[in-house]
Amino acid sequence: MRPEILNPLFAALTDLKGVGPQLAKPLTRLGLERVVDVLFHLPTGLISRVPVDRLDQAQAGQTIIVDLTAQDYRPGRSPRAPFGVEAFDAAGDHVRLVYFGRTSGLARKLFPLGETRRVSGRLDLYGDMRQIVHPDHVAEPGDEAGIAEHEPVYPLTEGLTNARLSQLAAVALERRPELAEWIDAPLLASRNWPAWRDAMERAHASPRDEAARDRLAYDEIFASQVALMLIRQGLRNRWGRAVRGDGRLVDALRLPFGLTGAQERVGREIAGDMAQDTPMLRMLQGDVGSGKTLVALRAMLAAVEAGTQAALLAPTEILARQHYATLQSMLAGLPVNLAILTGRDKGRARESTLMGLADGSIDILVGTHAIFQDAVSYRDLSLVVVDEQHRFGVAQRLMLTNKAARPPHLLVMTATPIPRTLLLANHGEMDVSRLDEMPPGRTPVDTRVVSVDRLDEVIDGLARHLASGAQAYWVCPLVAESEASELAAAEDRAALLRARFGEARVGLVHGRMKGPDKDDVMARFEAGEIGVLVATTVIEVGVNVPAASLMIVEHADRFGLAQLHQLRGRVGRGTAKSVCLLLRSQTLSETARERLALMRDTNDGFVIAEKDLELRGGGELLGLKQSGDADYRLATPEQLVRLLPVAHDDARLFVERDGGMEGARGEAVRLCLYLFERDAAVPLLRSG
């Protein structure tokens, strides 16, 4: 239960005076629904205003504060034309105040003729004439205190002004309590960091206050590290059960290829974990095409050999059904009952699956999040495999582990290589295995970067590719064209290609389609009836069509590096030479240019992941949010790299040396966990 001292911070913003439904909409778009959300919504810039007595004391481009007297209005020739206010300073120097967009009434109200106002705004030159467009503050005499010389600038959205958000931030700061110190005293002193309450005020006052910003980033990272270590400790303290297979099913697998050395090594690590009474908690990292599914299948067969059940959780229905089809093929002829359960499955089919799980006649279940709903119960679940684990938070994936009488072993897989820093930051509770060897026969994909103005040449090349009997993907960032964007839309691109190649040769798949419709298109593409599949990133993972040997990604500079690497991984699965064309915009930022060059020069996902973290200064990492329950709001990627090793060591000392939550420091750290909402997984893991 959240400590009472924090309750004022977790109150809804709509409980505050002046925050009604109209203001709540833009706030919600920014993810600001509670007081604490505003508290952690830090400014990213700073306006510095220069007070002057006369206009000639200021330079063009400066934001100034000056007393001005309005002497005349200059209406535009139409209601939409700019409206001007002719004003003068104390020395009689002239400036025009300009308002756009039907704001003449506002301008007349702010500047009554003959009256002096204190005005703030950016001074510019329009030809030889001074002007201030839309002054940001206009104060009556005696109200000058409302214009600050230094004002923080917050990230905004339509319908929300900086002044209004500043007011909300002031309310949030008033509600921050005095909290006991959770940082180790020697560390706090060595870094010269302020106390948490002071750091919040200083961080809102200026984004340039590095000590305050680092202190808050450290708090957030430390809370995550403590939570992960408590999770690990909680799992290690729970009594699981050893699961040892006899090899009869694993040995009966008839595969057209042998295991790589990496697959053999990782298989031994997993088998060793499953043979222990302590529940396994292991991440399997493997690049696209490295053979993770086969490793997971061998682990699930070991669970079946031991007389128990296994479940494979996938983030999307397409991926779940792809896994189901792949496992069906691999298990052909083996006495293993495989089933699938997704949100689409209804009626008798669903009831039959639920009965089979409950009575134990189903050995392995594949599905989406539907497999851990309340109505789903297992006779004896001993192993849970979670694919593309970055799509699930800690609490989500552990809901499935609570389906067993005793904690099952947990294997999570990712084809998105994770830089070491983020691995430690978000998955520090897990042991990690890496498949760093590709199976024989996987040839590197030839990647080329092409300007989008060569679109006609690309389509001609696609025509030659299809004429040879091969298949292709064409990926677009959007489903339908939007007035707000010039990006290619999947529906429009499909229409263009159908006009060239015929209706039957071009398929379209996107996230807005109904499940059966997507399945139908995918089935026809896999059967070779469709030559080119136009898609959004719904085909990013799990789609396996060996005959498809050309991937075209339109506006590739708008995709994350991990997405591009995953999309490229859809080709190169057959014997034919495969090509990935990255169509770029005509103008590129330096970072976008570096990222596309990296994609062209290497097929190694681990190299790409590390370089992506280095190239990106902020925002989403690897083209994905920073995964799961550890979504950082205060810590930047640069701060993660710099502060995480310190926070990791301090968290370990807290858990192992200082007595953890039961020690003298425990109550302060408990406040920290609740403040940063890193407490959710702890009771979940300690239950049962």
Task: Give per-residue pLDDT as tens, 125-154.
Answer: 999 999 999 998 898 877 766 688 888 999
Q: What are phi and psi of 473, to 5 degrees?
A: -110, 145
Residue 351: predicted pLDDT: 92
For residues 569 and 561, the answer to whether their CB atoms sit within 8 Å is no
CATH homologous superfamily, domain 50-147: Nucleic acid-binding proteins (2.40.50.140)
pLDDT at residue 628 tops 50: no
CA atoms within 13 A on the CB side of 97: 32
CA 648 remoteness from chain centre: 22
Question: Distance from first CA to last CA of the chain, Å, rounded?
Answer: 18
Confirm if 47 and 65 have CB atoms less than 8 A apart.
Answer: no
β pairing state of 446-451 and 431-435: unpaired
pLDDT value of position 246: 95
DSSP 176-217: PPP----S-HHHHHHHTPPPHHHHHHHHHH-TT-HHHHHHHH
Q: pLDDT > 70: what percent of the chain?
A: 87
Question: What is the spatial distance between Cα 284 and Cα 233, in angstroms, rounded to a whole number?
Answer: 20
Q: Where does the pLDDT of residue 182 fall: very low under 50, low under 70, confident under 90, or very high at 90 and above? A: very high
- Please, where in the chain does CATH 3.40.50.300 lie? 446-602
* Model confidence band, residue 617 (pLDDT cutoffs 50, 70, 90): very low
pLDDT at 616 over 60: no
**What confidence category does residue 588 fall into, taking pLDDT thresholds of 50, 70 and 90?**
confident
Label residue 229 by pLDDT band (50, 70, 90): confident
Q: Could you tell me the pLDDT band of residue 626, with boundaries at 50, 70 and 90?
A: very low
pLDDT higher than threshold 70 for residue 520:
yes
The pLDDT assigned to 54 comes to: 95
* Residue 615 parent element (H or E): helix 605-615
Residue 263 has pLDDT above 70, yes or no: yes
Q: What pLDDT, in 10s, does the model give residues 70-97?
A: 999 998 888 778 999 999 999 999 999 9
Q: What is the DSSP letter of 159?
A: T
Q: What is the pLDDT of residue 305?
A: 97
- The beta strand positions in 538-657, using DSSP E, are 548-553, 579-584
pLDDT of residue 683: 52
Burial of 501 from C-beta contacts in 10 A (0-12 / 13-18 / 19+): middle
Identify the weakest region by mean pLDDT among 196-200, 216-220, 251-255, 511-515.
Answer: 511-515
Q: Which of 519, 551, 523 lies closest to 318 in space, CA to CA?
A: 519
> Which pLDDT score is estimated for 251?
93
| Cβ contact 476:502 at 8 Å | no
Q: How would CATH label the architecture of 446-602?
A: 3-Layer(aba) Sandwich (3.40)
Question: Predicted confidence band at 10 (pLDDT cuts at 50, 70, 90)?
Answer: very high
Residue pLDDT, tens place only, 17-67: 889 999 999 999 999 999 999 999 999 999 889 999 999 999 999 999 999
DSSP state of 5: G
In this predicted structure, what is the pLDDT of residue 484?
47
Percent of the chain with pLDDT over 90: 51
367's enclosing H/E stretch is strand 364-367
Identify any residues that bridge with 583 across adjacent strands, giving them in sequence order: 450
* Low-confidence winner among 119-123, 393-397, 487-491 (lowest mean pLDDT): 393-397
Q: SS3 letters for 144-158?
A: HHHCCCEEEECCCCC
Q: Do the Cβ atoms of 560 and 582 come closer than 8 Å? A: no
The predicted structure's pLDDT at residue 457? 95
Cross-strand bridge partners of residue 63: 122
d(CA 685, CA 399): 9
Tell me the average pLDDT of the chain: 86
Q: Is the pLDDT score of 541 beyond 70?
A: no
Residue 399 has what pLDDT?
65
Q: Is 309 strand, coil or helix?
A: strand
375 burial (CB, 10 Å; 0-12 / 13-18 / 19+) is exposed
Task: Work out the widest C-alpha separation in the chain, in whole angstroms.
Answer: 97
Helix (H, G, I), strand (E, B) or coil at 287: coil
Tell me the per-residue pLDDT of 633-645, one tens digit each, with 9 for 90 and over: 899 878 888 898 8
Higher per-residue pLDDT: 160 or 687? 160
The helix/strand/coil state of 119 is strand
Look at residue 624 in the predicted model and tell me its pLDDT: 31
Question: What would the DSSP string read from start to end of 55-109?
Answer: GGGS-TT-EEEEEEEEEEEE--SSTTS-EEEEEE-TT--EEEEEE-SS-HHHHHH
Give the pLDDT score at 610.
76
| Nearest CA-CA partner of 78 in 109, 105, 101, 108 | 101
Name the residue among 541, 555, 547 with its Cα closest to residue 474.
Answer: 555
Specify the pLDDT at position 389.
55
Closest CA to 620 of 390, 435, 406, 400: 390
160-176 pLDDT tens trace: 988 899 999 999 999 99
Give the CA radius of gyration of the chain.
30
In this structure, how many other beta carbons lie within 10 angstroms of the beta carbon of residue 92?
Answer: 9
DSSP string, 446-458: EEEEEEGGGHHHH
Is pTM beyond 0.75 here?
A: no
For residue range 451-495, list pLDDT tens digits in order. 989 999 999 999 999 999 999 999 988 655 554 454 568 888 999
Quick one: pLDDT at residue 546? Answer: 82
User: Are 532 and 462 spatial neighbours (Cβ–Cβ below 8 Å)?
Assistant: yes
Query: Mind listing the pLDDT tens digit for each residue in 589-605?
Result: 888 888 899 999 988 88
463: exposed, middle or buried (C-beta count within 10 Å: 0-12, 13-18, 19+)? middle
Residue 482 is predicted with a pLDDT of 54
Residue 246, number of CB atoms within 10 A of its CB = 10
Phi, psi of 447 (to 5 degrees): -105, 130
Give the helix/strand (H/E) hosting 302.
Answer: helix 292-305
Q: Which segments of the chain belong to CATH 2.40.50.140?
A: 50-147
